[in-house]
Chains A and B, each alone.
Chain A
Amino acid sequence: MAFAKPLNKENLIEVDNVSLKYHQPSEKIGSLKEFFVRLVRGKLRYKEFWVLNNINLQVKKGESLALIGLNGSGKTTLLKTIAGILEPTKGQIRIGGNIAPLINLGAGFDYESTAKENVFLNGAILGYSKKQMKEKYDSIVEFAELQDKMNIPIKNFSSGMLARLGFAIAVDVEPDILLVDEILSVGDVPFKQKCMKKIQELLSRGTTMIFVSHSMNQVTSLCKKTLWIKDNQMYRYGDSKEVVEEYLEFCKNQGQKVGN
């Protein structure tokens, strides 16, 4: 799916009345025979639910927005819709730049291939040619601090090492829009700090970011604006500090434990 350009030139991302309906069979039908048996009996029922309900968003160039909310409220789904992985049932999304989705680090890693091969494979998936990746290769390796391990098949990597490699590739492509989904929770403390620094550096250079996190410290330090999604709808939108404060209060009442 190709996106339309934003109507307002100041905006980089425009989410216009977006709703997304999941249309899943209420019981998993995995075989043809079952499907026909049910079709004949008229029992082919689907459970419908709106995972996103009427979302309106406008993100300006260089702005960073945080998405917060309980598990299953639709944060990642919204992120995936903006990334173009899911298509909205209603509404329209308009994007004015190239996107680097950091939704799951190392999506598309081939575990049998070496780290070096995976850099190029992942680069291709993010839309970069081999030549472009060759230029970036050294700085990726340097950032991931995996110099002596690039010729090892990544099935032998630890999850922390995989995260390093994935983050290094995704950040090095200098995107206009960075979509970050809770990826900073892996990796050791020094690397986490390095990632935060890199993100801040990108932000200061004008990259736009949408950030999903359960760490309220990260939210308030990285993002000016915050959107609280509750029950698949927009619940609060505004200044990070205020929204986060209200959210923490809500969590307290719910008896939920929130990190940091």
Chain B
Amino acid sequence: MKKEKQLEKNKQPFKIRFKENSSKFFEQTKKNSYVLKAMVKKNFKAQYRGSILGILWTVLNPLLNMIVLSFVFSNIFGRGIDHYPVYILCGTIIFNILRQITTQSLTCLVSNSGILKKTKVSYSVLPMSNTCTALVNFAFSFIAMLIVMLIVKQPFYWTILLTIVILPAIVMFSLGIGYFLASLYTFFRDIKHIYSVGLTLWQYLTPIFYTASAIGSGIAFKIINLNPMTVYVTAFRDVIKLGVVPSGMDFLIMYAWAFGMLAFGYLVFRLNRRKYILYI
């Protein structure tokens, strides 16, 4: 059957085939973008539905969290770190991108089974819509961070603009994991519980509340250094807090992880795409 299809296709001159395929792709992408927009809007509204302060919570939430964290941790790890609240905030908002994209993508196929079973919607749009939601949330958290920076009199550096270069890497990395987990979760529902524990461990193995150098040079130090989130958090902190441009090697590592994880996750997601409908 496949051979016949191939033969049929080969009869058409390449130019026409290409034109047809690319216009189909374009049309599909356009349609997907409508769904993407609608889903992001839905996700975002669902987040703060029924609350009085509504969208204000997106800024308030990281702000309050930061106050709690810096209150709890400033006497334990905070000694010797300047502008400790900013230090924590840099770490948490970067880690929250990963948390939001991955935990929401994990269940996205199952929780949207109503749509997937009855209409023709591209599966890959769902993790992407979670990514966009996480990005919008990041933008608000970023504003909260700027407010804190003003309050604690943290100096501003031009390198803050480099956030735009670092952000895509973190997002791609998280989306890759999101695709992988979404695929796995449709077959094995245990993953949700395993991952929530794993994510907590991951968070503590990332220097968010403490500095990597405070750990010493044991096995924990090695793990922390191998952890890709360490690279992302450190780079983000460099550009925000220290005004240092991350080295070329840092960028290389960040983007190697990003492309590698996205390629791996998307491949797994794509290869299993025919099976999802039977399991959700």
Contacts and interface: CB of A to CB of B under 8 A. Distances in A.
B188 A124 contact: no
Given A31-B188, A91-B1, A108-B114, A124 B119 contact: no
A121 B274 CA distance: 25
Q: Across the A-B interface, give the 4 residue pairs with the lowest CB-CB distance, nearest first.
A: A107-B118, A124-B38, A108-B115, A124-B34
Interface in B33-78: 34-35, 37-39, 41-42, 45-46, 49
B196 interface: no
A30 B188 contact: yes
A30 B38 contact: no
Interface residues of A, number: 38
A107 B114 contact: yes
B146 interface: no
Given A32-B190, A125-B38, A24 B1 contact: no
Interface in B184-241: 187-191
Given A30-B188, A125-B115, A127-B31, A92 B5 contact: yes
A126 B119 CA distance: 8
A117 interface: yes
Interface in B20-40: 24, 28, 30-31, 34-35, 37-39
6 contacts: A32-B188, A35-B187, A84-B120, A86-B277, A125-B38, A125-B115
B270 interface: no
A149 B45 CA distance: 20
B1 A90 contact: yes
B121 interface: yes
Given A30-B189, A92-B1, A127-B34, A113 B42 contact: yes
Given A107-B114, A121-B38, A125-B38, A22 B119 contact: no
